[in-house]
Structure formats: C-alpha cells, structure tokens
Chains A and B, each alone.
Chain A
C-alpha cells in the first residue's frame, strides 16, 4: 500500500537494514525503490550488478488514508521525498482521483528528472527550486501555500521530505483547515516495533516510525523538541 516501506539488507558489513519507501509496484511481486546515495548502505546497493539479489523484508508499516471522493489530493515532496509519494500518486491516478503534485528541491539537480510518477495523466505537476533554476522560485511549502489559496475542493495534504519541510507543510495545511499526513524517516533497527528504536514524539507519547508509522497525522506529531523541531 502507498506509504509502506521495505527493510533492505544492503550489505553484510552493516549492522542495520535500510528502510526505503515503496516508490511503485510496476507488476506483481515487483517493487520500485528510489535510492539516494547517502552512505555505505545506499552505495553498496547502487554497486550491485543487474540481476543480483538482496534480502528485502516487508512491506512494513501503515499507509496513507484515501482522500474524500472527488476531492483533490495535494502531494508535497521535498527532494528525495518524492520516493514516498510516487506510488501514492500513481494509485490515486489509477483510481481516477485528481492529484496535485508539488515537488521542490534546492536546485534543478535535486528534482530527480525522469523519476516522477507514471502514468502522469491526471496529475498536475508543479515544481519549485530554492534558486529558481526550474519551476517557481522558493520553497515547496511556499508553492503549497499559494496553491491552497486557489485550489478547488482540496481533500488532504500528503507530505514527504526533510523534517523542517514537513513541519512547515503541516503548518500551511493547518492554516487552510486541511488535514495533513506526513511520511517520516528515522534510523531503524528491527522494522517490527520490537526494539523501540525509531520513535518520534506525538501527543500520545513516543510512537515507532516502523510499526505505528511511517505515516502520521501531522496534527498528532509534536514537532517541538524532537528531530522534527
């Protein structure tokens, strides 16, 4: 389901698996993952030859809620955050729901050309870059705010990206009286809720990203004082 992730054993040299959002399901028993090169785990994965096998655990975690029938789903991604929303956008299009997808990055290089959802018929795609090199100049949350001023019949905001961007997207949605679901990322050990390692602070205490999430209602999260401050 869109929002769920898989836990990948990238290398036997590592202690932990690496969680990745399901970025698409092109056919049965097949998954797309979008992997940003960040460290040893992602580099090891990228170096794998075509056809090699890795251990994949999952799908794990919860998933996004559907929007109201007929209303527009507003998806907001910061950088590699598009990985967490790509499959959702595709499913919404498949179900015939109107989708507004806003993707922002610092520069045009961060916009991950060619990795946008497919099919993209039915998706209104808007881009932003902080330096104005592509799309609207400014942050993706500023783009979100301007769209929420004029979009008809908005249903819900779905956001994925860096912590500061999620906090701002949630605040923008709230100002417009819209519910907002965010997809969170945390360093993760077990992936099953057992070890209590990947917690975030919520109004109902610490919750695990792996089993209570990774999708959270932004209104439940305590952005203050945690990594999402």
Chain B
C-alpha cells in the first residue's frame, strides 16, 4: 500500500488533498455530502475581525471551464467563528486550517493569534489575495513589502504552521513569495483566483454585482500550474498548488510541477465526491507506478526536464 501521508512544515496530513477556503464554508455545511475522513484537511472560510456582509448579488457567473465569484469575504467575524463555527468544525474527522484576512498588519496579528491558540486549529492560512475586496493603495498580494509586514505580524502571534495564500495577479510572484518566506511563512498556497468579468447581455450589465470577480476552475489551472513551477523552484518551503484541480491527473500535474499538496475548491460544486476520487486516483497511480511515497512525485517534472537537458548536453 503506497504511503500518501503528506508533510507541510509542522503539519502531517493523511493525504495531500486539502479543501480550499471559501468553498466548504466552515465545514459542517458539506458534512452530509463530503466524507471528511477522505480529505487531508479543510481550510475554513476566511474570517475577518468584524463580521462582513459581503458583496451585493449576483455573486456568481459561470464561464467556459470556470467560475467567477465575488462573495466579498462574507463571514461571521472572529468572535462568532471562535464561539460557534470552530467548535462545530472541530468535530469533523479532518484537520482544520483556519483562514484569516485583515486590513492592517495589526489585524493579521490579532487574528492569527486568536485562531492559532485554539487546539482545533492545526495551521493558520493568511489570505492576502482575495480579489473582491476594494483596496485604495497597492494591494498586499502585489507588494513584497506589504506582504512581509502582514506575515511578520501574523508570525509574531502564533507558533502554529503559517501558510500564506498568494495571488496569481502579480507580475512578480517570486518577490512576493520570497518576502512571505523571509517573514516566516512555513508554506505557500499558489495561488488564489484571477480577476475577471462577464456581461449579462439581457440586462446589459456586468454579470456580477461587484463587476469583477475571481476566476476559478479548470480555466485557471495552467496559469497557477506555471506559478507553482516557478515558485517551488525558488523557495525552500512547501508549496500547496491550487487552481482548477478536479481530477487525480490534475493533482499529479501540480505535484510533479513542485507542489507538496493541493487544494481543491470549485470542483466540489459539480461533484462533492471529487476530493475522495482524487485521493483514490493518486493512490492508484502510485500503485501502478511502484511509487511508495508522495515525495517521489514532488517536482518530478523538473527533475526529468533536468535529466533531458543534461542528456542533450552530454550528447
């Protein structure tokens, strides 16, 4: 039996499939549809210090091979998360990663500290990349200094593994990734959604109340896969791949590109059984190919490419 246990700096998961923030709510919403024993971990809906009502509807628009969403970080706020949502999530038979977002480094510090001190929270995910919240200045996800400031603040507040979720919407993801790692990130999620929009021809209006939203689903996969390839070569912390993963083959592409684990989100909407099927498919692939551990896949495509290049040079 192949071993699919996955280690992400201080956090051991029974398998590399993690459910992405925002898609499973706080967890219990999907308890009847997802067998949580089959997933490595879930990332709860991003919480902010105060409750947020989110963006005006419509909040969703389907695209060719994808989905635009502009939820706007609707959430119950820190206090209700700790008193109501987290205790419920803690009952689920999987690991809980709590996602937080703040407006300032001080808020990130407070949020990371408050969720990080709970036993049920196995790691803290720092969401610096939600595209649906208006910002006046340069967004943090596109700003290495801003990223360093919020990660430093969060790092000072918790000893739990700190995972930073990057945005694909930057010309220089390496500088942002290095800034996050330099400030103490234990792992990176590469990456969040990409901004996009659609027009409702009947209403002659933008399809989303927020005008633009984040593109997820299969259309996003090649973009984020390329970013995983790039970032995983440059940093020495685990990279968690995310973006349009719906099948075991998709997940294996991310692992071979350099990801240590993957996040699955939008695929749940069509098939809540997708995470379990991905785990099964990875295990089957390992069995068929005689792989004993997940580590054998991580960055395999880069190693192969290197071998090919060396062979050509030698010839």
List the interface of chain A (C-beta within 8 A of B). Answer: 9, 12-17, 55, 57, 186-201, 205-206, 211, 225-227
Contact = CB atoms under 8 A, between A and B. Distances in A.
A194 B71 CA distance: 11
A16 B74 contact: no
B291 to A, nearest CB: 28
Interface in B41-59: 45, 53-54, 56-59
Interface centre among A16, A57, A191, A196 (most CB of B within 10 A): A196
Nearest to B25: A194
Contact of B57 (A9, A193, A195, A201): A201
B275 interface: no
B53 A205 contact: yes
A227 B57 contact: yes
Interface residues of B, number: 33
Nearest to B23: A195
B33 A192 contact: yes
B62 A15 contact: yes
A196 B218 contact: no
B241 interface: no
Given A12-B270, A227-B57, 14 more contacts: A15-B266, A15-B270, A16-B60, A16-B67, A186-B57, A186-B58, A190-B29, A190-B268, A192-B30, A192-B32, A198-B59, A198-B60, A199-B54, A199-B59
B25 A226 contact: no
B57 A196 contact: no
Contact of B29 (A12, A15, A16, A194): A194
Contact of A196 (B32, B63, B65, B74): B74
A194 B265 CA distance: 11
A99 to B, nearest CB: 32
